[in-house]
Structure 1
Amino acid sequence: MKTFSKPYTKNQNINTRPEVELLLSCARTQIDDERAQRIKSLVKEDIDWQYLIATAYRHKLMPLLYNSLNKICANAVPNEAFNQLRELFQRNAQRNLFLSGELLKILGLLKERGIVALPYKGQVLATAIYGNLALRQSGDLDVMVQQPDVLEFKEVLLSLGYQPEIKLTPSQERAFLQAKTEHSYNFFNQDKAILLEIHWRIAPKYTCPIEAKDLWDKLEPFAFFGTTIPNLSLEDWLPILCVHGSRHRWEVVGWLADIAELIRNHPGINWEKVIAQSNKFGCRRILFLGLFLVNELLGVSIPTEVWQRIKADSEVTSLADSVCKDFFPETDAPERFLTTTIYQIRVRERLQDKLLYLESFLLWLRTRENTFS
């Protein structure tokens, strides 16, 4: 299958600061000679290192930035900036190791109860697509189970010292788990400073209808720290990662880096299966937008046949232009509810999904008015 690829280019809608180009050039695990030379050249420019480090951290690209600079031109980076990056990198690696230990303990307890649990994003994703736990920036735990297992999962967490972020009565809890606006039940362990989110679907129903039950018959075994745990197939991960990023209007470039690494490191992806999955769940345009953005920002090769389908949807390019404008703003922009709402409606290709999102938005508005009236 032929592929469409391009080197990093300064999209007219993306901030053209050298720090931004340097960050995007470093946001990968494999760097060819041409890109390495460009990184060396950029490091010699008048780089605002504090801006670069803060931006990398905000976009969850700090580990990739450090890893690339360390391999290519560590001596050219000012000592203070390099030491700061190294400390942040090591702290992130230690945190991920700590979270992995907690995750394995929880998965073991769930297994004893006969509950199949899927680690969602986080440390398992870092191992699966980066091949190195330290190269992905994350701060909490996400675990998916089928909806009927959520309350038993809750009991396991309570026994380990976790407490729910919101206090619900049994009747409120049942309504919460049935609500199409909800997708996770969050618990916090104060002593360990760990937030764990129990997911039974990947996003609120108005964003995407994929639930745990839709994935369970396709789970694959995955080796993680000497044990075998369930994991998603590559063909399921791609649309799911795109749904997650799109739900937040791609406010974090690190989510695109995840998709980019998945594609680069797994050339055997069954693209027809990926597109069929996205068609089934009404998230084809969401998938196409994610693929367009990883090509535009990170130079990822997209199969020609897939690229042609992406370009055939004119909304994708338009949506990408609006998203790119907000990746690296010079000033903090106020939260724009209307912009986000319009985006969420446009990014869905089926009328029924557009109407579902609009219905949820109007419900949120009424709730907000009642709260402040």
Structure 2
Amino acid sequence: MNRSLAPELSLLVASCLHIEYEERRLMDSRHLFNLLYYHQIRPVFLSYIHERGIDVNFKQKLTNDCQHITFSNMLCAQELVRVDKLLTAKDITTYAYKGSVWADWLYGNVGQREFGDIDLLIPKEDFAEAIEVLSNEAGYLADDYRKYLLETPKMRKRFFRTDYHIPMLRETGDSTNVLEAHWEIAYPRLLFTFPSDEWSRYSEKYMLLGKELNVFQKEYQFLILLVHHGGKEQWKKLKYIADLAAYMFRYGHLTDWEKVTALAKEKGIYSLLTWSLGILKALCLPWKKEWPQQIVSVEVTSLIKQWETAPRLPSNSTWPYFKHGLAIHDGFKHKSALIFEHLKYFSEWQLLWHKAAWYKKKQS
């Protein structure tokens, strides 16, 4: 482990990579506690310290929290299965990803990963009918502004051109379920091209709680994981590093890396692939012979600083998204397409103006 890491962060990184932690430097328990919660790796960390006999003075609270996380995750998994059954009954194809599916897929345990909502990918041609089923039969409602966008033809077209999902809420007694219905995996201006007309080509079945769900083949789903964790979230939290390491340990020796490489180059994100795996190498994850051998360590100083300081996310992410997008997209062709997509986004001034006015009115 890199000795330049503070002892608290060093322990958290070791738990995410599932590697030995042999340091015995004094730690600030409060700082460790705060970092642990910020990075959303409580179940991973609890399993790690339990296996290695490492003690922390907040272990009982951590244990209680992880029991609650397991219970909440199981309810989300059950809700995912219920919603999928309702949509399947209407011949609407959906693809489950993130959330409880990734918890089970990556860790083999639905309680081992922190998440907060249910995510479904729904092809564009089925999206309108799916929203009706989710609203009328599953009990999920979009907020007033998105209802307005969906019900106003001109705004609806602009909304679908510039956005990628609709958050929906379902009130159930003392709790609230959050479901995100996606027609893309990210904002179109970010140029992560995983269009719905190719999803069936890479689909496979996955068993969760006795129900077959549509998911994606591991190579395709791995790239989606990289897009979400590294492309959108830029590896800002250790939760994402833990997911990446979990994939490598569980599926790295089974993955068709030539297929992954070909798909990444086709989609202009080979730089994202090599950078992401290079982070694991830089963090001293033992590299197995079945894993890609062309990967080299990358500079992680800025990431370490970010993990240590746990900064607030910016209120406006457009500029950071754009700069990061230029860095992780390949070559002139894909970088220029990214610039063009951002120009197209800002040309939708009517939607952007209307959106700003709506939220300003709501706040007032």
Superposition TM-score tier, normalisation by shorter sequence: 0.7 to 0.9
8 Å Cα contact 1:345-1:357 kept in structure 2? yes
Equivalent residues in 2 for 1:56-67 (5 A)?
Answer: 56-67=36-47
Structure 2 alignment gaps of length 5 or more: 358-364
Q: Distance in 1 between matches of 2:52 and 2:302?
A: 33
8 Å Cα contact 1:157-1:163 kept in structure 2? yes
Q: Distance in 2 between matches of 1:334 and 1:46?
A: 33
**Aligned counterpart, 2:185:** 202
Q: Distance in 2 between matches of 1:134 and 1:352?
A: 42
TM-score scaled to structure 1, two decimals? 0.82
8 Å Cα contact 2:189-2:342 kept in structure 1? no
TM-score scaled to structure 2, two decimals? 0.84
Deviates more, 1:156-165 or 1:121-130: 156-165
Establish whether residue 25 from structure 1 lines up as the match of residue 17 from structure 2: no
Establish whether residue 73 from structure 1 lines up as the match of residue 89 from structure 2: no
Instruction: Tell me the amino acid that sits aligned with residue 66 of structure 1.
Output: L
**Aligned counterpart, 1:328:** 308
8 Å Cα contact 2:2-2:283 kept in structure 1? yes
Establish whether residue 102 from structure 1 lines up as the match of residue 95 from structure 2: no
Q: Distance in 2 between matches of 1:251 and 1:111?
A: 36
Instruction: Tell me the amino acid that sits aligned with residue 184 of structure 1.
Output: H
8 Å Cα contact 1:220-1:232 kept in structure 2? yes
Shift in alpha-carbon separation, 1:68–1:110, aligned structure 2, 3 A: same
Q: Distance in 2 between matches of 1:212 and 1:333?
A: 29
Give 1:48 deviation, angstroms.
Answer: 2.2
Q: Distance in 1 between matches of 2:91 and 2:314?
A: 46
**Aligned counterpart, 2:157:** 175
Establish whether residue 349 from structure 1 lines up as the match of residue 327 from structure 2: no
Equivalent residues in 2 for 1:121-136 (5 A)?
Answer: 121-136=98-113
Kindly provide the CA deviation profile for residues 274-308 of structure 1, in whole angstroms up to 9, marking residues without a partner as x: 10111111111111111111222361526588342
Give the secondary structure class of the aligned counterpart of 1:155. Answer: helix
Structure 1 alignment gaps of length 5 or more: 1-7
Q: Distance in 2 between matches of 1:61 and 1:69?
A: 12
8 Å Cα contact 1:238-1:287 kept in structure 2? no
Q: Distance in 2 between matches of 1:172 and 1:256?
A: 41
Give 1:325 deviation, angstroms.
Answer: 3.5
Q: Distance in 2 between matches of 1:280 and 1:135?
A: 33
Given candidates 203, 210, 216, the residue that maps to 1:232 is 216
Instruction: Tell me the amino acid that sits aligned with residue 189 of structure 2.
Output: Y
Give the number of equivalent residue pairs. 343
Give 1:330 deviation, angstroms.
Answer: 6.9
Question: What's the % identity of the aligned pairs?
Answer: 22
**Aligned counterpart, 1:161:** 139
Instruction: Tell me the amino acid that sits aligned with residue 333 of structure 2.
Output: Q
Q: Distance in 2 between matches of 1:333 and 1:188?
A: 23
Shift in alpha-carbon separation, 1:369–1:113, aligned structure 2, 3 A: closer
Give 1:269 deviation, angstroms.
Answer: 0.9
Give 1:324 deviation, angstroms.
Answer: 4.0
Give 1:369 deviation, angstroms.
Answer: 8.7
Kindly provide the CA deviation profile for residues 30-87 of structure 1, in whole angstroms up to 9, marking residues without a partner as x: 55xxx15x2xx54xx432223222222222211101111122225x322xx0112112
Give 1:127 deviation, angstroms.
Answer: 0.7
Q: Distance in 2 between matches of 1:143 and 1:331?
A: 29
Q: Distance in 2 between matches of 1:212 and 1:286?
A: 21
Q: Distance in 1 between matches of 2:318 and 2:91?
A: 42
Q: Distance in 2 between matches of 1:331 and 1:281?
A: 31
Q: Distance in 1 between matches of 2:197 and 2:289?
A: 30
| Structure with greater contact order relative to length (CA < 8 Å, sep ≥ 6) | 1
Give the secondary structure class of the aligned counterpart of 1:114. Answer: coil
Instruction: Tell me the amino acid that sits aligned with residue 273 of structure 1.
Output: K
Equivalent residues in 2 for 1:222-371 (5 A)?
Answer: 222-245=206-229, 246-266=231-251, 267-297=253-283, 299=285, 301=287, 306-308=292-294, 310-311=295-296, 317=298, 320-329=300-309, 338=319, 340-361=321-342
Kindly provide the CA deviation profile for residues 195-218 of structure 1, in whole angstroms up to 9, marking residues without a partner as x: 111112211223201123222122
RMSD, aligned α-carbons:
2.8
Give 1:351 deviation, angstroms.
Answer: 2.2
